[in-house]
């Protein structure tokens, strides 16, 4: 018998229950305010297989992440400042989508982001991944200039320029397709 996976319970003004895992590996069950402790316990018990799969995916992703030290950050930012503008210009021209500005950060939680003002940010840690993964993040963020969501239309746009985007995305998550 496997040891049950426990969850931290977080109640908020939401409509549905959802499991997630933090960057530190803590499993969290997010539930609406009205859900009872008994119902939360039932959800956790009924979803142990799902929770094991969630933890396994997280562990694999952690194992696949490239190692770095904090003192590597300035070097990674310099590499990103050198490499990203050329790739962004290439994909901007192909897609006909130009960001208002580009910023390189040392964000550890996400590889890229796009603001509603058309500004895109890229993490310097992206430089630790293969070129195919870097191009995927660039195309992904540029696509947000047209679709500020992850709708089917958004993914159709990404797929138009990167038909193998799922394989490229998987490179960031430490798995291969």
* Position 176 confidence tier, pLDDT thresholds 50, 70, 90: very low
| Interior angle at CA 65, CA 63 and CA 169, nearest 5 | 110
| pLDDT tens sequence across 104-150 | 998 887 899 999 999 999 999 999 889 999 999 999 999 999 999 99
Per-residue CA distances from 101 to 85, 122, 144, 171 (Å): 11, 11, 14, 26
Helix (H) or strand (E) holding 43: helix 37-46
Q: Which CATH architecture fits 70-172?
A: 2-Layer Sandwich (3.30)
Q: Is the dihedral of CA 86, 138, 63, 105 positive or negative?
A: positive
All CATH 3.30.2010.10 domain ranges of the chain, comma separated, are 70-172
Of how many residues is the chain composed? Answer: 177
Per-residue CA distances from 7 to 16, 44, 129 (Å): 16, 7, 32
- pTM of the model as a whole: 0.67
| pLDDT tens sequence across 29-71 | 899 999 899 998 999 989 888 888 888 887 877 766 666 677 7
pLDDT at 64: 63
CB 124 within 8 A of CB 74: no
């Amino acid at each position: 018998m496997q040891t049950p996976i426990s969850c931290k319970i977080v109640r908020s003004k939401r409509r549905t229950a959802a499991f997630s895992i933090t960057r530190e590996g803590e499993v969290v069950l997010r539930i609406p305010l009205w859900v009872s402790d008994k119902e939360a316990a039932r959800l956790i018990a009924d979803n142990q297989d799902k929770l094991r799969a969630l933890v396994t995916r997280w562990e694999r992703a952690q194992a696949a992440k490239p190692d770095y030290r904090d003192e590597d950050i300035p070097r990674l930012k310099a590499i990103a400042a050198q490499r990203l503008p050329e790739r962004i210009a290439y994909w901007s021209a192909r897609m006909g989508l130009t960001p208002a500005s580009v910023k390189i950060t040392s964000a550890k939680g996400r590889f890229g982001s796009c603001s509603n003002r058309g500004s895109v940010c890229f993490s310097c840690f992206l430089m630790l991944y293969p070129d195919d993964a870097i191009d995927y993040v660039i195309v992904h963020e540029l696509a947000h200039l047209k679709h500020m969501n992850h709708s089917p239309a958004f993914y159709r746009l990404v797929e138009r320029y990167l038909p193998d985007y799922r394989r490229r995305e998987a490179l960031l998550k430490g798995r291969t397709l």
